[in-house]
């Protein structure tokens, strides 16, 4: 899925470059406008690709944090269940001890 998204982003950047080059060819008489348009095209394509990579990194970071939080929650749940089992065993022992004392 990531390769498909990367391919789509690169394809869109190539389309941007081609369309800008076509526009530059039409404006070749004014080299300042052509140069500025070319620089703008390159910077815009780079910005778009950079944003796509940043969003991908952010998504990976969120997924990693979510996975860590789930693991910590599972570990905490297991610890709490263990403590509750220990406490219920202790309460059962105390109750049985009190019951034995009462019957003596």
Per-residue pLDDT of the chain (104 residues; tens, 9 = 90+): 466 767 877 787 778 777 777 777 776 677 777 777 778 877 888 888 888 888 889 999 999 999 999 999 999 999 999 999 999 999 889 888 888 877 76
pTM over the 0.85 mark: no
Number of domains in the chain: 1
- Identify the domain containing residue 67 by its residue range: 2-103
Per-residue burial over 57-81, b if 16 or more Cβ lie within 10 Å, else e, is eeeeeeeeeeeeeeeeeeeeeeeee
Is residue 18 a contact partner of residue 42, using CB atoms and an 8 Å limit?
no
């Amino acid at each position: 899925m990531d390769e498909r998204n990367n391919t789509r982003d690169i394809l869109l950047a190539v389309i941007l470059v081609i369309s800008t080059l076509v526009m530059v060819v039409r404006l070749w008489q004014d080299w300042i406008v052509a140069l500025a348009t070319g620089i703008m095209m390159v910077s815009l394509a780079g910005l778009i690709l950079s944003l796509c990579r940043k969003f991908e990194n952010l998504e990976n970071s969120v997924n990693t944090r979510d996975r860590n939080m789930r693991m910590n929650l599972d570990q905490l749940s297991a610890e709490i269940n263990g403590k509750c089992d220990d406490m219920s065993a202790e309460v059962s022992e105390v109750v049985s001890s009190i019951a034995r004392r009462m019957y003596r």
